[in-house]
Amino acid sequence: AATTLHEAETATISQGVVESNHAGFTGTGFVNYDNVAGSSVEWTTDSPQARQVRLVLRYANGTTADRPMSITLNGTTIAANLSFPGTGAWTTWRTVTLQASLVAGPNTVKATATTANGGPNVDSLTVDDGTSTGTDWS
């Protein structure tokens, strides 16, 4: 498949809770990160081969303060302080995208809050290899 959607509520959550009180999420809910640095969500995504993809994180941030997170791939930091700016409301969901080079087999993607406010509310991670549109990411 060109895109694979991984819900946050079925990922590995550290210092966060699954909630469903702000509409617009996919699946059964979203992760409300605890308001502490170090709170995290970790997904595992299987790749049929080594390939470059886009990682699309869907989130909401109803505050006016950025909720930056560090993103690691298989334990290596690929974005140290990725910005998750305010979306205007907890029911307004937007995406942040970054590129990553997956290895064949299971890959872990972890999004960890870097400030005392914790992360935004996170709905999902989508892995997009670009093949559905014919776009060449390279």
Comparison of 45 and 70: residue with beta carbon closer to ligand GCU? 70
- Which residue number has the CB closest to ligand GCU? 32
Region of residue 107 (phi > 0: left; psi between -120 and 50: alpha; otherwise: beta): beta
Displacement of CA 84 from its chain's centroid (Å) = 10
Residue pair 4/26 in contact (Cβ under 8 Å)? The answer is no
Tell me which residue of 55, 67, 63 sits closest to 22, measured CA to CA.
63
**C-beta of 21: minimal distance to ligand GCU in Å?**
7
User: Nearer to ligand GCU by C-beta: 120 or 127?
Assistant: 120
DSSP β-ladder status, 69-73 and 105-113 = antiparallel
Q: How far is the CB of 22 from ligand GCU (least distance, A)?
A: 6
What minimum distance in Å lies between the beta carbon of 99 and ligand GCU?
A: 27
SS3 56: strand
Q: Which is nearer to ligand GCU, 35 or 74 (CB)?
A: 35
**Minimum CB distance to ligand GCU, residue 122 (Å):** 10
Residues binding ligand GCU (CB under 6 A): 22, 32, 35, 63, 90, 118, 121
